[in-house]
Structure 1
Amino acid sequence: MGLHLIEMEEGFSCYASGEFEARFIYQEIFKDNNYDQPGLPEAPFTIDVGANIGLFSLYMKQKYPAARIIAFEPAPENYQALRQNLELHQVGDVTVYPYAVGSEAREATFTYYPAMPGNSTLHPEEKALQKRLMGERLGEEAATDLFQATTITVKVDRLSRFLAEQHPGVTSIDLLKIDVEGAELEVLRGIDDADWAKVQNVLLEVNNADGALAQVEALLREKGLTVASEPVPLMWEELELYYVTAHR
């Protein structure tokens, strides 16, 4: 399929492999402001876990030009698109790592969907319901095309390892954004207590099909954060997708 330049609207283009999904995510972030977090400082230190093609990072730099961002994206094609989009929009102060983030350092099998790269995952079993619903609503042929997959081996490491070795001077994590298609708890469990004390705001998307929402909420409250959850708008109710926000 390959990367190609897509014009989202006049004045904003980006590189992506899957146009259908890229337009959906652009609407979600830039138009519907679903990722907007009030009360951030003028130069927020932001961590973007599951950065995909970089639309959230671009949104943060557009809204907060002085923001410092570290972004993680393990899929090589997404990583390339992310780097090209940062260059296209002449964005600086974004450090990108070609890693997945988890609870321990390891290598893992990663399922990549070129037509829907934002759905790529360490947990492909969680996509069975979504594929079935797409088949019912969009047709089996369309669902099969969208979920054509390849598997790759990716590096996984703990977020606290990157903070300790690459960003030791960080004293406040103003926003931690996580969108990792089923690996949310693994990301959260890879953060040391000393780093949790720095975290001021968390925004993540979680699939509750296996009861993960309650576990995520409990962990965040255990770390001293006030937590709220709401269904992701414009998504099929059966998918049980939720936005979780947490504030210190």
Structure 2
Amino acid sequence: MTEQTRPAKPTRPTAPRSTAPADTSRYELPNGRRITCVSAAEAKVLWAEATGQGLYRSAADTLRPGTTVLDIGANIGIVSLMFGWRVPDLRIISVEPAPTTYACLEANLRSHLPGAVAVRGAVSDCAGESTFTYYPKSTGNSGLFADQQADDANTRIFLRNSGIPEDYIGEIVKDLHRGIQLTVPTLTVSDLVRRHELREIGLLKIDVERAEHLVLAGIEDEHWPLISHVVAEVHDEEGRLKSITGLLERHGFTVSVAQQPQLAGTDLYELDAGRPV
């Protein structure tokens, strides 16, 4: 057989190159949709929090098509996804400062809610830069005011209240909140209003690990009337819950506060503020 007639060797098919961002993985949610995440275990917890009988599921029940949602502290975007899947045609702007979680957020919105907008930054009381503590093993507890000792203590209480045996808690919490210091861009809610030419904010969702007061301080007087509904996770340190409640009431909101049973004994509360109909 000559070279000209020798059959070519079969080639092995090349696997498609992964488009997932570095240091991330894929996870299939209970609804069958696949998302990009930092940790499958954490994604499972975040989904349970978003869809359980709590703050975010109740907030989703109030949304209507066409409503603008600001998701401040969006992490990998699970709450944004839940809102968008529950209610069609929302205008969702999701903000997250840490590069790795932001990459997941951007990938998840692009795959599942292409009309939503991802913004990289920490929402605060002024625009600029700030030091942000990122927990690679517990991204949802990362923040401008991360406190390893307090975060360890809250996690221990949460696990104990959830029925985790004491023998396992220490191992779970070990190094969970070992942080990496990052410099991240900061912006305000009012910056977002101007940048995206917002005429209304049907829901302002805040989950920023002890920086809730800064998010609210960055709302200029002229923009408060645009906001119809606020939901926030608040760390009640140094009277912060009372202070935030008072601020919202002065701007015309009726405020209710609750605490999930698993968080009893921690400083974490859920705040729901709406305007009287």
Same fold (TM over 0.5): yes
Deviation at 1:10, TM superposition (A): 5.1
List structure 1 runs of 4+ shifted beyond 3 angstroms. 31-34, 132-141
> Shift in Å at residue 129 of structure 1?
2.3
Q: State how 1:120-131 maps to structure 2 within 5 Å.
A: 120-125=142-147, 127-131=148-152
Find the aligned partners of 1:57 and 1:134 in 2 and give their Cα distance. Answer: 24
C-alpha deviation, 1:68, in angstroms: 0.3
Alignment identity in percent? 33
Question: CA shift at 1:133, angstroms?
Answer: 5.3
- CA distance in 2: counterparts of 1:223 and 1:31, whole angstroms: 29
- Corresponding residue number in structure 2 for 1:76: 99
Structure 2: how far apart are the matches of 1:100 and 1:115?
20
How many residue pairs get matched?
243
Counterpart residue type for residue 85 of structure 1: N
Match of 2:241 in 1: 213
Aligned residue identity for 2:118 = V
Q: Does the 8 Å contact 1:6/1:15 carry over to 2?
A: yes
Using the TM superposition, give the Cα deviation of residue 43 of structure 1 relative to its aligned residue in structure 2, in angstroms: 1.8
Aligned counterpart in structure 2 of residue 181 of structure 1, from 196, 200, 209: 209
Q: What displacement does 1:16 show?
A: 1.3
Alignment of 1:63 onto 2:63? no
The alignment's C-alpha RMSD in Å is 1.9
* Residue of structure 1 in register with 2:51 after alignment: 30
Q: 2:74 aligns with which of 51, 62, 76?
A: 51
Larger deviation, residues 5-14 vs 182-191: 5-14
Tell me the TM-score normalized by structure 2: 0.82
- Structure number with larger C-alpha Rg: 2
Provide the residue aligned with 1:108 in structure 2.
130
Measure how far apart 1:139 and its partner are. Answer: 3.9
Distance of aligned partners of 1:10 and 1:200 in 2 relative to their CA distance in 1, 3 Å threshold: closer
Gaps of 5+ in 2: 1-21, 158-165
Q: Identify unmatched segments of 5+ residues in structure 1.
A: none
In structure 2, C-alpha distance between the alignment counterparts of 1:104 and 1:216, rounded to whole Å: 18
Offset at 1:134?
4.4
Tell me the distance in 2 between the aligned counterparts of 1:117 and 1:128. 16
Partner of 2:7: none
Q: 1:87 to 1:242 in 2, by over 3 A?
A: same
